[in-house]
Amino acid sequence: MKTQNDFGKVAVLMGGKSAEREVSLMSGAGVLKALQSKGVNAHAFDPAERDLSELKRKGFKRCFIALHGRYGEDGTVQGALELLGIPYTGSGVMASSIAIDKVMTKRVWLAEGVPTPKFQLLHRGSYDRHAVIAIPDELGLPVIVKPAREGSSIGVAKVQGYSQMQAAVDAAAALDADVLCEQFIAGDEVTCPVLGTGADARALPVIRIVAPEGNYDYQNKYFTDDTKYLVPCGLPEGEEAAIQDIVLKAYRVLGCRGWGRIDVMIDSVTRKPSLLEINTSPGMTGLSVVPLSARAAGISYEDLCVQLLASASLDHAQEGAGA
């Protein structure tokens, strides 16, 4: 573990321009406080209000990315930091740009034998009513409809009947040009964080999520105490280890590094896991699951932040290391 003097001047990137700005500000505030409590020379930096070129001019030596969604988790800010030569936390340009896109993520996972629910893709402006109504015939009901490149359950709808499909698709299309229609898996909802890179990556304890009426939406993720996060997860013997194994594989095949979190549904009948999506810049709020899982593994919030900052890197540095 590096000391605070090795980090130099650190920027905690928070806020940004995505639909998840509010949550990012909460994550960033927590990270900033934690790093400063450990003696790190850390400062808040909002890319929506300051030009990234300031990072170089102001002498920042590394960045902790606490941005979520577009322009922070999709490879764009990572590419800018690569050009500036400032190491940053989390995945690199390619892994970030793939992981933010739920459809591209599924295509890679399926090619590598990683289980994920069946899906259909609709493109804004190119679908008609008949194409929309045909989706439940292919995937069954209920069906999940969501934007392909949004996080925090923004724009996600659980469609129970044919009459609800059009409104759900139109709402998702208002947020993204690509609309993902996904098979609904009834069963346990769990999530599993990962720390590290390549062969050194390790899965943290699995957390089982019990949301009010099974609705783990934006409100229930960040602004309520009604959602329960169970760790130990209480899954049948052997299931947690199996989920950790498949999550690690899914993380590695995307080329992720630093940290991430993968959401999983476990079929209530077959007990087979299906991976939904990966988050390469997870939330770090008071209700976020990564700090909770880390704490169950004996890592405090403050130590987690320092550990992640110590892992900050650049793509070309990873290539030089043979990663």
Residues annotated as part of the active site = 20, 152, 222, 261, 263, 277, 279, 283
Q: What is the 3-state secondary structure (H, E, C) of the chain?
A: CCCHHHHCEEEEECCCCCCCHHHHHHHHHHHHHHHHHCCCEEEEECCCCCCCHHHHHCCCCEEEECCCCCCCCCCHHHHHHHHHCCCECCCCHHHHHHHCCHHHHHHHHHHCCCCCCCEEEEECCCCCHHHHHHHHHHHCCCEEEEECCCCCCCCCEEECCHHHHHHHHHHHHCCCCEEEEEECCCEEEEEEEEECCHHHCEECCCEEEECHHHCCCHHHHHCCCCCEEECCCCCCCCHHHHHHHHHHHHHHHCCCCCEEEEEEEEECCCCCEEEEEEECCCCCCCCCHHHHHHHHCCCCHHHHHHHHHHCCECHHHHHHCCC
